[in-house]
Structure formats: C-alpha cells, structure tokens
Structure 1
C-alpha cells in the first residue's frame, strides 16, 4: 500500500522487516531503527574483520613484511639502468660528432665481426619419393574418361571409380569356381536351376536389389562347392544365402521369419541360424564376391547405353545364373559378353575401344561366352523355369524377353 506524501512509514508491532544478507548489513530486530555509534560499547570485544572493512578497501594499503625492501631495490635498479642507458647514449653521440663517417662504418663492421652470428644451415631439397605401383592412380586417356562429369558428386566417387572396378576384377581370381556337381551325389544341374528360379521369385516379391540376387547365387555356389549336402537342405541353403546377401546389400533386409514364411515353414528358426553359421564359416566370412551385375552397369555407362539396352543385357545375364556350365566364368567376362550380345541385337555396333579399355577384354576373349549365351536364348525354354522370362516380359522391363534374338550369321559377322 503506498504511503502518503510527507510522512514516514511507521513501524508497528508485529510488522516484519526483511533481513538482508551478504551486503554488510547485520540482522535487524523489530522496532524503530537506531543509529549506531562507530565506537563499540564499553566491555564489548573488538570487531574482527577478515581483511579490512570492504567499504574502505580502496583507502587502505596492505603492507606485508619484506615488501618495502624489495620494492625499493627494484626502483633503484630501474633508476641505475635508465641512468646507464642515458650515459651510454650521450657518449655515443659525442663520439659520432667527432668521428668521421668512414671510421663509423669501420666500427660498425668491426662490431658485426665481433658479434657472434648463428650459422645458417642450408638444407638441400629432397626429391619426392616415387609411389609404389599399387598406390599410383591409373592414367586414363581423355577419350576414355567416363567419370569426369560426376567429379562434383561425392556419392559416386568418380575419382576412384576406375580403381574400384580394377580392384573388383582382381578379386575375381579368389572366387573362381569349377563344376562342383561331381562332389554332390544327391544334386544335379536341374535342381540348381530350379533353386535359382525360386530365388528370383523371392527377390521380386521382397523387392530386393538385383545385386542381392546375384550375390545369393554366388554364395550358394561357393557353399555347394565346399562339401556335399542333402537334397532336402537345398532350399534351406538358398534361402539362408539370400538372407546373408540381404544383410550385405540391403538397407532394410528381411528378417528370419520372412524367409521361414517363404519356405512354407519347412524349416525351423534354429536351422536357419545354424545354416547361416555354416555358410559363413565355409566362405571364411568373406562374402564380398564380385558379381556380374556391377560390371554390367559400369560397361553400359562406357557406351552411354539406353535403359532398354541395359535391361536387355540384364535379362541375358540373369538367365545365365541358371546355367551350370557358366558358373566357372568370371563376372566381368560374363557381363561383357551379355552387353556385347545386347549391342549386336539392338544394332548398336560391336565391342568399341573404350569397352576394351575399361573391361580389359578383347572380342576374341568374349566369343565363346557370347556363342553360349546365344544358344541359351534360342533354345526352347523349360516350362518349370519361367520366373525370369515372365519377369522381363513386363512393361517395367521394356518387355525385353519378347524381343527376337539376332540370328547366328549376323552375330558371327559382328564377332569378327
């Protein structure tokens, strides 16, 4: 409540005054304020302060024992130093007035000779050491450079694209297979083709990447080449290989229950996990196997192939997964042969020099595989293996499965 002007607020009994702490104000009792005297009352102990009264701190100079002597010594030393410097300057001025400029130069030179000068150590430039061959960047001619337009896109790693595919091609030597059906008494090439056809259906239903399908087939072949298996476990091996490939290639791979569902609950969860362990141990946990699909996309970029031409080559390459006699072929060689067959079918020319540079294969090396692929396409299809043909008969894939294949004479002329 505001107080009236000209009147001081009176303190009544029972009213409270807020206590202030931390500002040098002692606790005050209730009642009227009384001015205290500066001197303490008689008989009261003297007031103790931590250092000094804070209100008079700027007026008090704290003197500690031994500081006066040190300060006085410092002041006298400063005075002596300044006096000696002034005396030397005056003496130098007097000398400079009486000495000729030539003698001054001589004295300066003598002083320079007398004063010790640090010797400069001259370090010879060391020529740069040459990099070892495996660390040198490959020299790409300008007419064969297909990655210069993507230099500003960090997701494409255009600076290392050639080296990456050279590395993948070098790794193919580690994963070369042979016809392993001789060690599989209960299996044959037809059963393997049926398994691949089923894997294509699963890949399409789960909408997995094509790299996942190719890697799953490779993992299956490598496991089957390691030890004989029973016919009843063939589907378990294929589904588990697709699970491993999904974990390696997919951002969101399907779970174990999804693969149990597509197998119609023919296997248990423990069996899938145990088979996964067996496959990984058989492959030494190295599942980064180069697949033909990666090389196919790279080589199609060399000739700026259209999406329809690339899809036709993909159709031929995916059909080759079912052929047992094409299992020993390298993925880069198989991809080159599929692309060459697609280029000849679409009348887009043959194997150009830029393809020879990036693939490392000449036409003569591709001829046997191209002929084998052509006979595969022209032969009558098996009614049990229609998943790939029906897949590429869709409009999404440009209906490339319905395109008539080039005749053998035209193909032979192109191969020559």
Structure 2
C-alpha cells in the first residue's frame, strides 16, 4: 500500500468490507471471497490504482475468483447491478483482463481458507467453532495490517482465538500443533489482534463482517464477548 499514491488502507478496508457483503448476498462459495481479496492485494502490490478505479478492481477481482471457484459464476450484469452501475460491462471486462495479465494468470494459491478448513478438521469442533473461526478470519481480511502474518498463521490464530472465546479445553492441543506446525505461544500475538478486532467490531465503521455473523444462521457469533484472556 505504501507504493499507492491515490488510495490508502482505509479505502482498502471499505472495499473489502463491501465485497464481503456482496459475496454473502450472492451466496458464493467461501473460497471465492478469500481468492478475491488475494487477487486485489496482489494487483495493488504491482499496479498503481486511482481512487475512482478501486471499486472496479474489486468487482473485477470477484468476477475472476468466481470463474475460478464457482460452478456457476455470477453474470457481469449482476455485479454491475449490485454496484449501482458505477461502471460499464466493457470496463469490468477490460479490468479483468488487465488483472489476469498482471498476475500472469497465477490463481492457484494457498489462501487462508485452505489452511483454516484443514485446521478445523484437526480441531474436530462443532459448527459453533467453525462459525467463530471464520468470523475471525473475515475480520482479518478487512484489516490491511493483518497482512503482516502469513495466511497459515492467521488461520491457526483464528481457530485458537475461537477456542478461547468459546472456553474450549484444551485451548490448543498436540494434534493442532502437529497440523499447524505452530505452538500456542507462536499464535498469541496474532490471536490478540483478532480478539481486539472482535472487541471493536460492533462500533467500527466497517460492520460488514459483524453484521454478517450476527445472523442466527451463522450462530450470531459476532455477538459473543471476545476472550478476556486475549484482550
């Protein structure tokens, strides 16, 4: 982001928060969301993007990710409609081509989703743990500073923070340490950041994730109190 001249971390947060809402409304696969954010961040690291084109980059990235992950990708007109026709079909397709060329069509990457699914299997938890872990994972997507951590570390920290919030015992097991390659002490810093994001989510300007996970269908986990041991 330091190489960008017309956009900043706050604008990226607004974009990702909005895309999480769009993703949920369109009922897309979870893999699509994580790949969308990966594509955006990779493109922003390579290309200087004017402020007026940032939303276009986000929509085009979601179109690319949908074509890669979905059985039936949303149509361009659907994305235009949900974007209040802020740009044309030709602009979306042109930006899609530009992004793919810049990324050299390399879309097969280990996103945070790949890791968190594996770790949740190792945790042998219930749906409540899954919802809580994904809530933390999506909170991290919005925050640019969380890119400090590797996707595998954030995924492990999300599972750990979820277990802390739900008062599960043990908080971290030998099985989880084996599958993640990370000891409990190695997760604390990242987990504390996630818990801090949880604590401020309801009052944040970017409420997309909090609102999504306040839905009873997702266990209303965003309404839980964050783990005191991490705050």
**1:19 match:** none
Give the Å deviation of 1:380.
5.8
Task: Look up the SS of the partner of 1:379 in the other structure.
Answer: helix
What does the per-residue CA deviation read over 1:345-393, in whole Å, with 9 as the maximum and x for residues that have no partner?
1121222111111111122321221121122222364553112111111
For residues 204 and 129 of structure 2, the distance between their equivalents in structure 1, rounded to whole angstroms, comes to: 26
Structure with greater helix percent: 2
Aligned pairs for 1:266-277 (under 5 A) are 266-277=86-97
3-state SS in 2 of match to 1:225:
helix
1:226 to 34, 41, 46: 46
Give the alignment partner of residue 396 of structure 1, picking from 214, 217, 223. Answer: 217
CA distance in 1, matches of 2:12, 2:197: 16
Unaligned runs of 5+ in 2: none
How far is 1:262 from its partner?
Answer: 1.6
Cα distance change on mapping 1:182 and 1:382 into 2, 3 Å: farther
Cα contact 2:36–2:61 (8 A) shared by 1:
yes
- 1:74-111 deviation digits (Å, cap 9, x = unpaired): xxxxxxxxxxxxxxxxxxxxxxxxxxxxxxxxxxxxxx
**Could you say what secondary structure the match of 1:265 adopts?**
coil
Secondary structure of the residue aligned to 1:254 is coil
2:137 paired with 1:317: yes
Moved over 2 A (4+): 379-384
* 1:216 match: 36
Q: CA deviation at 1:190?
A: 0.9
Aligned-residue CA RMSD (Å): 1.4
Write the distance in 2 (CA, Å) between the matches of 1:384 and 1:367: 26
Deviations along 1:143-163, whole A, 9 cap, x unmatched?
xxxxxxxxxxxxxxxxxxxxx
Match of 1:328 in 2: 148
Report the structure number with the largest CA radius of gyration.
1
Does residue 1:236 correspond to 2:68, yes or no? no
Structure 1 position 411, deviation (Å):
3.8
- Compute the TM-score of the two structures, normalised by the length of structure 2: 0.95
Aligned equivalents of 2:202, 2:215: Cα separation in 1: 17
Which of 166, 173, 178 is the aligned partner of 1:352? 173
> Could you tell me which of 269, 276, 289 is aligned with 2:109?
289
* SS of aligned partner of 1:182: coil
Residue 188 of structure 2 is aligned to residue 377 of structure 1 = no
Deviation for aligned residue 1:331: 1.3
What is aligned with 2:85? 265
1:187 is matched with 7
Distance 1:340 1:383, change over 3 A: closer
Change (3 A) 1:369 1:383: closer
Q: Structure 1: where are the runs of 5+ without partners?
A: 1-180
Q: Matches of 2:201 and 2:81 in 1, distance apart?
A: 33
Structure 1 Cα separation of the partners of residues 27 and 188 of structure 2: 34
- Deviation by residue 1:111-133 (Cα, 9 ceiling, x = unmatched): xxxxxxxxxxxxxxxxxxxxxxx
Distance 1:324 1:387 in 2: 16
In structure 2, the residue matched to 1:146 is none
- Flag the structure with more relative contact order, 1 or 2, with Cα contacts below 8 A and sequence separation at least 6: 2
User: Which one of the candidate residues 117, 126, 129 is aligned to 1:306?
Assistant: 126
Contact preservation (8 Å) 2:199, 2:225: no
Q: Paired residue for 1:252, among 56, 61, 72? A: 72
Q: Which residue of 2 aligns with 1:50?
A: none
